[in-house]
Amino acid sequence: MEDFGAGALWALKIWLYLIIGLIMIPAMFGFSLGISETYMTVLVKTLEVLWGWLLLFVCLMLSLSVVLSREAAVRHKCAPLLQWATLKMQKAKADERLLKMSSSNVLIQRENGSMEKELEELRRSRPKPQDGGDFTLSDCFYFTRRGIESIVEDEVTQRFSSEELVSWNLLTRTNNNFHYISLKLTLVYGLGVFVRYCILTPLRMLLACIGLTWLVFGTTAVGFLPNSRVKSWLSEWVHVMCFRICARGLSATIRYHNPENKPRKGGICVANHTSPIDIVILCNDGGYAMVGQVHGGLMGIIQRAMVRSCPHVWFERAEMKDRHLVTKRLKDHVNDKTKLPILIFPEGTCINNTSVMMFKKGSFEIGGTIYPVAMKYNPKFGDAFWNSSKYSMVSYLLRMMTSWAIVCDVWYMPAMHQKEEEDAIQFANRVKSAIAHQGGLVDLQWDGGLKRAKVKAAFKEQQQKQYSSMVVGDDSNSNSD
């Protein structure tokens, strides 16, 4: 029994030494030994070979069953599966190109034209009156069609559900295009569950705990130092080091593009928001001052430790409602060019990695330089989107740690400034469009707050005024008459 205990202790020591030497030390100093890259290469090849083998196996078996079977019932049962597999093999590349272009699987292909253009198309058989106003009964078809489209598949609700993949990634059995096919495939899925839950997850949890523990103790220790350039450097180094360890705990593979455009001190970094781990992804490459509400519990302990060494901007619940106070504190931070850039997600909620929704104007009323950052996750290896209406934070983090990996592309974009003729809303829309274009995301004007709230009455009135101006004519035309 003593020999067994000594052997287990020796194995534990070797395991810890390997973790420290191969993962933690490279993370602390910002270099890689190529382990993550090798893991991703093997994973990609495995999934590609598995998916190709799956489709080939299904086609061969079902074709053989249909040919050899003499019973019409068997033919009728196998035909749909055979058709499914055949279409998958023929259209795999086309589907991947379509996903890259549309960023989502949609049921309805909507036209990008405005209300005026679509109504003019319906009215093309009738000449427009000279007085500028017009109404035809065919206008009802436009509103009826748009209403039915919204009922079947609106542009907002689908942004808060996980995007569907073209191929199965061994992470779930609930893909709409996948059904039980064979025992062998189930065994492969079971092997993947064993690897993810019994090998990867314990290691990732250990790294996450180490990273958060070091963050609390490291920032607390740095907080006792007097304010100086040395303290600022140590604070940023501790933050980046700990977030890199946490990124290793998610098996995160991050590709940073255009590092010459990285946010600088005294600026504001704005990015699209998919997941709470967006902070880990960005802070893995540099230090940021974070903005948020004061929390209790474990999150509160981390916040209090972080603010001792770095001037993060935390607000009490009552202060968050005071816009003038929030704006003043943020302006004071931006005006100090020695402080880290502020990290803000103007959408205010998580979107499912396919789109960018309306940016709140408050972030663009502060002034200063805006550094846009576009982020795009690869859903093939894990779904990074956090559906807060469906999963709690603990459940979501467990899903992240039991996925194959987190693969993300980050694009640093050139700094942007507000133009003289622009207001805050126009500036926010311009930044949002640039981020959507860079990340290959859909640019939407809808407010992400519609996830839990109803459409504002002002938006309905805007649509009503737009149509009424077409019916009765513009005020300018009526005045000139």
pLDDT, one tens digit per residue, over 149-165 is 766 666 677 777 766 66
**Which pLDDT belongs to residue 107?**
45
Residue 385 CA to residue 347 CA, distance in Å, equals 14
| pLDDT class of 61 with cuts at 50, 70, 90 | low
Range in 69-83, 267-281, 448-462 with the lowest mean pLDDT: 69-83
| Residue 203 CB burial class (10 angstroms; 0-12, 13-18, ≥19) | middle
Q: Give 80 or 215, the one with higher predicted confidence.
A: 215
Asked if residues 287 and 235 have their Cβ atoms less than 8 Å apart, the reply is: yes
Between the ranges 127-136, 277-286, 380-389, where is the mean pLDDT highest? Answer: 277-286
| Inside any domain, residue 24 | no
**Which pLDDT belongs to residue 372?**
96
**Which pLDDT belongs to residue 31?**
72
| pLDDT class of 288 with cuts at 50, 70, 90 | very high
| pLDDT class of 173 with cuts at 50, 70, 90 | very low
| pLDDT class of 76 with cuts at 50, 70, 90 | low
| Inside any domain, residue 141 | no
**Which pLDDT belongs to residue 27?**
74
Containing structural domain, residue 294: 184-455
The two tokens of residue 206 are: 């250990």
| Inside any domain, residue 23 | no
Question: How many domains does the chain fold into?
Answer: 1
**Which pLDDT belongs to residue 104?**
43
| Inside any domain, residue 25 | no
pLDDT above 90: residue 36: no
Asked if residues 457 and 121 have their Cβ atoms less than 8 Å apart, the reply is: no
Between the ranges 73-87, 192-206, 430-444, 455-469, where is the mean pLDDT highest? Answer: 430-444
pLDDT above 50: residue 476: no
| Inside any domain, residue 470 | no
- Decide: helix, strand or coil at residue 161: coil
| pLDDT class of 300 with cuts at 50, 70, 90 | confident
Q: Give 151 or 23, the one with higher predicted confidence.
A: 23
| Residue 479 CB burial class (10 angstroms; 0-12, 13-18, ≥19) | exposed
The two tokens of residue 50 are: 């598995």
| Inside any domain, residue 115 | no
**Average pLDDT over every residue of 95-119:** 53
**Which pLDDT belongs to residue 105?**
44
Asked if residues 281 and 252 have their Cβ atoms less than 8 Å apart, the reply is: yes
Residue 40 CA to residue 68 CA, distance in Å, equals 42
Residue 474 CA to residue 481 CA, distance in Å, equals 11
Q: What is the pLDDT of residues 359-418, one digit of tens each?
A: 988 889 888 899 999 999 988 888 888 888 788 888 888 888 888 888 899 999 999 999
Q: Give 478 or 6, the one with higher predicted confidence.
A: 6
Residue 283 CA to residue 239 CA, distance in Å, equals 8
pLDDT above 60: residue 474: no
Asked if residues 271 and 288 have their Cβ atoms less than 8 Å apart, the reply is: no
For the chain, report the end-to-end CA distance as a whole number of angstroms. 103
**Which pLDDT belongs to residue 122?**
66
pLDDT above 60: residue 71: no
pLDDT above 70: residue 60: no
**Average pLDDT over every residue of 440-469:** 76
Per the prediction, the chain carries an average pLDDT of 77
Residue that is written with structure tokens 């996750």 in the block: 377
**Average pLDDT over every residue of 445-464:** 72
**Which pLDDT belongs to residue 377?**
92
**Which pLDDT belongs to residue 130?**
53
E-assigned strands of 337-479? Answer: 342-344, 355-356, 370-377, 406-412, 442-443
| pLDDT class of 41 with cuts at 50, 70, 90 | confident
| Inside any domain, residue 209 | yes
Range in 60-64, 115-119, 181-185, 462-466 with the lowest mean pLDDT: 60-64
**Which pLDDT belongs to residue 239?**
92
**Which pLDDT belongs to residue 439?**
92
| Inside any domain, residue 34 | no
Q: Give this prediction's pTM.
A: 0.75
| pLDDT class of 221 with cuts at 50, 70, 90 | very high
**Average pLDDT over every residue of 109-120:** 63
At 269, phi and psi to the nearest 5? -95, 120
Residue 122 CA to residue 136 CA, distance in Å, equals 9
Of 306, 352, 351, which is closest to residue 447 (Cα–Cα)? Answer: 351
What is the C-alpha R_g of the chain? Answer: 27
* Alpha-helical regions (H) of 224-294: 229-248, 278-283
Paired sense of beta strands 268-271 and 370-377, if any: parallel
**Which pLDDT belongs to residue 199?**
87
| pLDDT over 90 percentage in the chain | 18
For 26, other C-beta atoms within 10 Å of its C-beta total: 18
pLDDT above 50: residue 277: yes
pLDDT above 80: residue 272: yes
**Which pLDDT belongs to residue 478?**
44
Q: Measured between alpha carbons, how far is residue 153 from residues 106, 158, 211, 461, 478 in Å?
A: 8, 7, 42, 23, 39
